[in-house]
Amino acid sequence: MKEIGIIGLGRMGLGIGRRLLSKGWTVYGHDKRETALSRAEEEGIEVFDDLSFMLGSFSDRRIVWIMVPHGAVESVIRELKAELVEGDIVIDGGNSYYEDSVRRFNELSRMGVSFLDVGVSGGVLGERNGYCLMVGGEEKTFREVEDLFKDLAYEGEGYAYLGPSGSGHFAKMVHNGIEYAFMEAIGEGFELLKESNYDFDLKEVARLYSRGSIIRSHLMELTEKALEDFGDLEELEPFVADSGEGRWVVQTAVRLGVPLWVISDSLFARFRSQQGNSFRDRLLSALRYEFGRHPIKKKDG
């Protein structure tokens, strides 16, 4: 019997659960939020508001998949430790820092519990298309649950064992850094198209770039969809959040002495977008006035 318990039934956790249901798995789910439990139950997942009850529902070896924000993983594992027994398998499918994953692997290993760190890419579309899964931990444990990854993966092959503990989340960290850079390049290129003297239909350009060009990609397809969904984007605030992975990849590059100009710049561009009232820009404006009496704009009033 293929059984799995998922802790965290948000968009990604619920999508993983539904995909596994479609592959013949029995899926148990736990979440602190009543709304998440109700939604998952409607989809056919057997839900529990009590973690002990969920773990007690397994008929065989227990596989527990954690799918919560990286800041909540520690508390989830702390709660799990009181319930885990030798032979259990814990999988962290969130975006945890790889050094934390190594530490968690060592802590759980001392209990006889196996731990895999799995970077998951594919977003909300992964439920339908399959995910890209980057697996770190003991290869023996990976082989024991390989069917799980095969059922979740894109075309049944979008997964790989990458090495010892931490390697899965390290690979996902780098993946997200590359994603930052791709997105920044797309944003800059389309801004240049918009500001040119040509009246480009940006959605049409995105569609064209996605059809056979060298830069075709899933992100370019999503650019086309974004321009379809939000038109000229005027309704959106120019604020781009950054997640832990972008910062971690740059910090790791500094520690290892690896130059990451493009990825670093894309992270700093996100920081810049978060400055609603940039002191730097106000200072630059004042400096231009002081040395050249260039015009300055003052706030109304």
CA angle 233, 234, 236 (to 5 degrees): 70
The whole-angstrom separation of Cα 100 and Cα 1 is: 32
For the chain, the C-alpha Rg in angstroms (whole number) is 23
Strand (E) or helix (H) holding 30: strand 26-30
The alpha-helical segments, DSSP class H, found in 166-299 are 167-195, 202-209, 218-230, 244-256, 261-273, 279-292
Pairing of strands 26-30, 89-92: unpaired
CA geometry: angle 266, 270, 272, nearest 5 deg:
110
Give which of 148, 167, 149, 166 is closest to 158, Cα–Cα: 149
Which of these, 242, 208, 244, 238, lies nearest to 223 by C-alpha position? 208
Please give the positions annotated as active site: 172, 179
- Cβ atoms of 104 and 166 within 8 Å: the answer is no
